[in-house]
Chains A and B, each alone.
Chain A
Amino acid sequence: MANVPPIPKRISSIKFGLLSPKEIRKMSATPIITADTYDDDGFPIDMGLMDTKLGVIDPGLRCKTCSGRAGECPGHFGHIELVAPVVHVGFNKVIRKLLRATCRKCSRLLLEPAQKQRFLDQLTGIEEIRHMPDDLINEVYKEASKVKACPYCNEEQLEIKFEKPSEYLENGEKLTPTEIRDRFENIPDEDISVTGMDPKNARPEWMILTVLPVPPVTVRPSITLESGQRSEDDLTHKLVDIIRINQRFQENREAGAPQLIIEDLWELLQYHVTTFFDNSVSGIPPARHRSGRPLKTLSQRLKGKEGRFRGSLSGKRVNFSARTVISPDPNLSINEVGVPMPIAKILTMPSIVTPRNIEQLKIYVRNGEDVHPGANYVLRSDGRRIKITNVNKDDIAEKLEFGWTVERQLKDGDTVLFNRQPSLHKMSIMAHSVKVLPNKTFRLNPAVCPPYNADFDGDEMNMHALQTEESRAEAKILMQVQENILSPRFGGPIIGGIHDHISGLFLLTRFENHITKHEAYDILRKSSARSLPKPAGYDPDGKPYWTGKQIFSQILPENLNTQFSAQVCSHCDNCRREGCPNDAYVMIRNGELLMGTIDEAAIGAFKGKIQDRIIKEIGPEAGARFIDDMTRLAIRSIMRTGLSFGIADEDIPKEARVQINEVLGKAEDAVQNLIKSYQNKELEPLPGRTLDETIEMSIMQKLGKARDETGGIADSHMGLENSAVIMARSGARGSILNLTQMAACVGQQAVRGERIRRGYAGRTLPHFEEGDLGSDAHGFVKASYKSGLNPTEYFFHAIGGREGLVDTAVRTSQSGYLQRRLVNALQDLEVQYDLTVRDTRGVLVQFKYGEDGINPTKSDFSKLDTIHRIVRSVVSKEVA
């Protein structure tokens, strides 16, 4: 950092301008006059579109301009002299504005000299502070086109109308490009400056083309088809059209053809030149190929997703990659990815032949391309690449020498990158080790779904085979899944148990399970645990049994010590910790779960405290092993009892239903009372609110409370024997609110946080009276999903639901764009070894990363808990 010169390079300015006819002729290697390309011998015709002065693409020929061969010669422009001027489509907007802002007779800008000077001063001011002058320039045009009579020659100004695609009408009469050009030519330089143009680099008359530059052949190469026939590029086709019409125009004019025919031809020339630049201009039919396919002309090459900028410069296609549907496989490690055999046979890893691996590589080569693990190519030391086929495989295996490279097929243990779009954070691309499996989908452990945000409803993912030792080493050390369990976003694990994992361990550890020896071995079979502790007790029949907590303890690392509140914790005011009546205080001592329930707070993705502690205290390898064991254990233990949910689980007892109806009825009455006091003008407005706002808020509040109350009633009649309650309490899936809506009452439907008000004047639906403020008239759904909604409720529910859909659609597009801008702005910043944040010029951005220099991945959920923990572990007791 010391000898970096301060701010090495800086672009001081970029200049944009228009090409003048003079410049076009100057840069042209040759005029193009004939529409033919090749003569009968297949040789480019002089002054034709493929003239060798424009550069060469056929090997063997030399460029007549720079005498370079194909590949060396960059290509050179030619030009076509247009018989009559035509408008350049790209400048239609400016041409229109300028025609309106200048005098039709003397061509001066229609502003008083003082006003011009004022605009000019403002313009230089804006330029100095480097702001965009667009708004000011638009104002110049606006002011100038308002003027009715020229302040210089008193000429009355006529209305100018623009008609698509490129026609200008002055009081209904067509302005020819020649006339427009004449007007522009007469605009004085000082007037042009006022419009923001630089008269030296961009005279407005240059927007009307008199000479057309012909792009070099290297830009529009022709291809030779297998039949020996030549197929020309779309641009060449378009240029042929332009030259043909140009010639016909000239012949007709010289022969003194009638004005009507001349005008037609002029229009045709305009059409061809327009489509040469842009074949998607509205108002004209796109020019088509003989097959009926629209031609890809200049602007089509640049625009859009597949255009030069987004398709060729910002993003490129890569080799050694694969894409297919994903599906789950809990038997794989989180570090592994199941790769379908057909993919493994196509993707390769280069392997240099050495004395240590030559025998193994010979086996691969002999296996050929059909038998896995085989090899697909051999690279000889002279750089020749030979495809291994069934014919030559034994031959090549014999000839294999040190220093050659064998491109062997992907096999178990290879490191590959695995990715799911959208790649929003670094965990969207992680390194996995290959496990070749039958069938056609990528397989992954469901515990790694959260970082990829993947599910298995048809998601596809990409895989990239790494081709160099450096990349493989880097991927393994930095990108492997186990290195990314902890997220820098919040300093906790982003990989962990989901859905069934949480339910499974909850069922295993919450209840006083008596697990027989047989069952215990069955549950632990797939994990790395290989023994059972002393039994917890003996059943009356004398058989030993173990508790679920003991079983879970078997997969914990031996020296793990931690304690925390479980997800089921009800956050009592006075926490009794070890004495928790709800078994919600988890305590792990020396790798043994002494008390507490294992749920989302213990092993969940985003929340799991156990993964967090294992990784921070023991290491990522132990963390990965724990997650592997945990997922397998959880799935086996949930299969012991099974966990399912049906319509009957939403049933609530009759007395509960009565209670709920009572609550809802009372709430409705309360709302009616509120409305009455509002109508009698007795309602007191809340501070800072109008009366209307106050009533709405009080109603919303009353009804919200009522819904919660009904939820409480339903909840009190459903205990942990209900699988939905199990899932909600443990944090596996769903919430008590979801359950409330299913069993008790759906509640208020809202649009933008307010009760539904839209619809007819004064009412939402024809079923209600005008001005009805009651709960059911504004989207309160009394029914539950189980009981079913009545028609008006159904309609309101659809309104509320639609808002949610629209919101997510809008949010994703907005946040995507915001992310793009942030990434572009921040991508070059780097944390240096001295913990400063600097850009590529060495300019400091932060003097200490995050002001405290802490790596968020290593912080404990970004809380200052570490010190307390260290003290606790040293003195082995609680410290304040």
Chain B
Amino acid sequence: MTKFSLLDHELVPKHEIMLEGELKSVLGKFSIEKEQLPKIKVQDPVCKEIGAAIGDVVKITRKSQTAGEADYYRLVIE
């Protein structure tokens, strides 16, 4: 259908669905529940692209001006 992937655009950082184990260690690191993560809507184009479902956590690896590379985690909702 689409001829290109959204993730190929240089302004779209890397998005990936997190595995159970990795998620657990991240939640443990910040000692939080999943609901305390920032949210992303399931209708978000990038969620559709990587096939994330409600309840998944998306790991985003961004380029950062200050830190070189920074990880960000968002919970898929609605």
Binding site for B on A (CB under 8 A): 1-2, 6-7, 834, 836, 838, 841-845, 847-848, 850-854
Contacts and interface: CB of A to CB of B under 8 A. Distances in A.
Interface stretch (B2-10, B15-23, B44-52, B62-70): B62-70
B73 to A, nearest CB: 7
Given A834-B30, A836-B30, A848-B70, A843 B36 contact: yes
Contact of B36 (A844, A848, A853, A854): A844
Of B30, B33, B62, most A-chain CB atoms within 10 Å: B30
A851 B30 contact: no
Contacts of B73: 847
B32 A842 contact: yes
A851 B32 contact: no
A848 B67 contact: yes
A843 to B, nearest CB: 5
B38 interface: yes
B70 A851 contact: yes
A2 B27 CA distance: 11
Contacts of B66: 850-852, 854
B35 A7 contact: yes
19 contacts: A1-B32, A6-B36, A7-B35, A7-B36, A838-B36, A841-B36, A843-B36, A844-B30, A844-B36, A844-B37, A845-B38, A848-B67, A848-B70, A850-B67, A851-B62, A851-B67, A851-B70, A852-B64, A852-B66
Among A841, A847, A850: residue with most chain B CB under 10 A:
A847
Q: Point out which of B35, B36, B71 has the most chain A C-beta atoms below 10 A from its C-beta.
A: B36
B31 interface: yes
B39 to A, nearest CB: 9
Contacts of A852: 64, 66-67, 70
Contacts of B70: 847-848, 851-852
B38 A844 contact: yes
Given A841-B36, A852-B66, 16 more contacts: A1-B31, A1-B32, A6-B35, A6-B36, A7-B35, A834-B30, A843-B36, A844-B30, A845-B38, A847-B30, A847-B71, A847-B73, A850-B66, A851-B66, A851-B70, A854-B66
Contacts of B32: 1, 842, 844
A318 to B, nearest CB: 37
B36 to A, nearest CB: 5
Nearest to A841: B36
Nearest to A850: B66
A852 B70 CA distance: 8
Nearest to B66: A852
Contacts of B33: 6
Contact of B72 (A1, A834, A841, A847): A847
Nearest to B29: A834
Contacts of A836: 30
Interface in B37-61: 37-38
A2 B31 CA distance: 6
Interface of B: 30-33, 35-38, 62, 64, 66-67, 70-73
Contacts of B31: 1-2
Nearest to A7: B35
A828 to B, nearest CB: 15
A834 B32 CA distance: 12
A488 to B, nearest CB: 14
A843 B38 CA distance: 7
Contacts of B37: 843-844
A537 B66 CA distance: 51
A847 B62 CA distance: 12
A482 B39 CA distance: 41
A848 B37 CA distance: 13
Nearest to A853: B67
A154 to B, nearest CB: 46
A666 to B, nearest CB: 46
B13 to A, nearest CB: 12
Contacts of B30: 834, 836, 844, 847
- Most B Cβ at <10 Å: residue of A2, A6, A853: A6
B22 to A, nearest CB: 14
A845 B73 CA distance: 10
Contacts of A2: 31
A834 B31 CA distance: 10
A842 B36 contact: yes
A844 B37 CA distance: 6
B4 to A, nearest CB: 28
Contacts of B67: 848, 850-853
With a 10 A CB-CB cut-off, give which of A1, A848, A851 has the most chain B CB atoms.
A851
A851 B32 CA distance: 19
B28 to A, nearest CB: 10
Contacts of A1: 31-32
B62 to A, nearest CB: 8
A307 B38 CA distance: 38
A636 B56 CA distance: 69
Nearest to A859: B66
A833 to B, nearest CB: 12
Nearest to B67: A852
Nearest first, the 6 A-B pairs at minimum CB distance are: A852-B67, A6-B35, A851-B70, A851-B67, A852-B66, A851-B64
Nearest to B71: A847
A845 B70 CA distance: 13
Contacts of A850: 66-67
A853 B37 CA distance: 18
Contacts of A844: 30, 32, 36-38
A845 B39 CA distance: 10
Contacts of A7: 35-36
A374 B67 CA distance: 57
A851 B36 CA distance: 18
A503 B37 CA distance: 54
A854 B70 CA distance: 13
A449 B36 CA distance: 43
A4 to B, nearest CB: 8
Contacts of A838: 36
A439 to B, nearest CB: 49
Contacts of B38: 843-845
B54 to A, nearest CB: 16
Contacts of B62: 851
Contacts of A848: 67, 70
A7 B73 CA distance: 18
B25 to A, nearest CB: 13
Contacts of A6: 33, 35-36
Nearest to A862: B66
A843 B36 CA distance: 4
B2 to A, nearest CB: 25
Interface centre among B31, B32, B62, B64 (most CB of A within 10 A): B32
Contacts of A841: 36
B51 to A, nearest CB: 23
A834 B36 CA distance: 15
Nearest to B72: A847
A2 B30 CA distance: 9
Contacts of B71: 847
A771 B67 CA distance: 57
